Amino acid sequence: MILKTHLSNYQISQESTFYQLIKTINKNGKGFAVVIDHKKRVRGIFTDGNIRRLLLKKIDLNEKISKYCKKEFNYISYNNIIKKNKFYKYSNQIPIIGKNKILKGLIIKQSNKNYKENTVFILAGGKGLRMGKVSKKTPKPMLRINNEPILEKIIQSFKKSGFKNFIISTKYLSDKIVKHFGDGSLFDITVDYTKEKKYLGTAGSLSLIKTANIKENIIVTNGDLYGNLDYSNMMKIHKNKKNDLTICARLHMVDIPYGVINFNNKNLLNEKPKLSYLINAGIYILKKKIIKLVKKNKFLDMNDLINLAKNKKYKVGIYSLYEPVYDIGNLKKYKIIKKLLRNN
């Protein structure tokens, strides 16, 4: 796909902060931004992968991006002469650069949405006690946003990444979920179910899965989390890193309403900074052997399973998310997210 209009959506000043960069990339939805100087000359490029790696290094989001900008990248000159850098065999995003290094267009490689055989396991059995009366007759994952159940939005998001095999873990008002999705054929997917006789925690219900039907890896996600995420890339990184268990961690930013004093910094007073943390996103990728650590019908939370895997010397990795993830944890959050996603 070649873009020659609305290029400003993909450009960012080298004087911008990481916080501004993340906002730009989330807004354009293509996983990259072209860095320009004050004369609008192309100086580099930031990709989805660059940001995830830097987040794991705990960079300061108030820092300028110029220090970390990837200055060696593939591009095409306006007269179609391909300039290839020896360090990069291919790119998903290639700038078209004209005279004086001004951006004239973009070549964006279309994502491969081939069908993935890996299964998605969705935890949807909780009572939703923090939802008040709205979950009395409707399980929380079936509460609606834009007249569509949250659970359906989650499944459609996975489907966009090529996943079509789902297992939904149920307990509370399970018939409502089964009635809506059935075997999944109406949604062009396959759906199977597990049903807890007692609450087994965020990992205990994995013991109810028939592992013979599972390929090498399975994605586990909470049934009240929604985001337009690239689950295919998560699986790719999980496999490339040869992880046995990958924890998805999302970026959480906190605005400090005061000037912060830092004696170790040349700027003694940092006026109302934004602090950033990576927190558990409630999404995991597990190899089949990790599932086998879970005892049948025994209560187990995911944190305990992670510690169990680490004690067994299995490789545990982190995949960082900077994209928005909407956690419908309580009634207040549900009302806020309904307003935010009113037109999505």
Q: What is the residue extent of each domain of the chain? A: 2-108, 116-340
Distance CA 73, CA 97 (A): 12
Tokens of 209: 């899965």
Tokens of 165: 């095999």
Question: DSSP labels for 96-154?
Answer: EE-GGGBEEEEEEPPP--PPEEEEEEEE-----GGGGGGGSSS-GGG-EETTEEHHHHH
Mean model confidence pLDDT for the chain = 84
Distance CA 6, CA 312 (A): 51
Res 321: pLDDT: 87
Q: Does the pTM exceed 0.85? A: no
Return contacts of 77-85, CB within 8 angstroms, 24+ apart. Answer: 78/104
Which segments within 196-257 are labelled E, that is strand?
Answer: 217-222, 225-226, 245-255
Closest CA to 119 of 61, 49, 59, 169: 169
| Residue predicted with more confidence, 92 or 243 | 243
Q: What is the dihedral of CA 170, 173, 178, 179, to 10 degrees?
A: -170
- The CATH architecture one would assign to domain 2-108 is Roll (3.10)
For residue 267, pLDDT beyond 60:
no
Question: DSSP labels for 138-199?
Answer: S-GGG-EETTEEHHHHHHHHHHHTTEEEEEEEE-TTHHHHHHHHTTSGGGTSEEEEEE-SS-
The 10s digit of each residue's pLDDT in 291-311 is: 999 999 899 999 999 999 999
Is residue 4 very low, low, confident or very high in pLDDT (cuts 50, 70, 90)?
A: low
Res 177: pLDDT: 95
Give ∠ CA 159-164-165 in degrees, rounded to 5.
140
Distance CA 289, CA 311 (A): 14
Q: Compute how many other C-beta atoms are within 10 angstroms of the C-beta atom of residue 272.
A: 10
For residue 6, pLDDT beyond 90:
no
The 10s digit of each residue's pLDDT in 147-199 is: 899 999 999 999 988 999 999 999 999 999 999 999 999 898 999 999 999 99
| Residue range 217-235: mean pLDDT, rounded | 91
The 10s digit of each residue's pLDDT in 104-140 is: 888 776 655 556 788 999 999 988 778 888 888 899 9
Q: According to the CATH classification, is domain 116-340 in 2.60.200.20?
A: no
**Percent of the chain scored above 70 by pLDDT?**
86
The 10s digit of each residue's pLDDT in 46-99 is: 888 888 888 888 788 888 898 888 667 777 776 655 544 433 344 677 788 888
Question: DSSP labels for 252-307?
Answer: EEEE--SPEE-TTSSSSEE-SPEEEEEEEEEEEEEEHHHHTTSPTT----HHHHHH
Identify any residues that bridge with 64 across adjacent strands, giving them in sequence order. Answer: 17
Radius of gyration of the chain (CA): 22
Is residue 265 very low, low, confident or very high in pLDDT (cuts 50, 70, 90)?
A: low
Residue type, 271: E
Res 112: pLDDT: 53
Which backbone phi and psi does 290 adopt, to 5 degrees?
-70, -40
| Residue range 315-341: mean pLDDT, rounded | 86
- Determine which helix (DSSP H) or strand (DSSP E) holds 44, and give its type and residue range: strand 42-47
**Percent of the chain scored above 90 by pLDDT?**
40
Q: Are 310 and 302 in contact (CB under 8 A)?
A: no
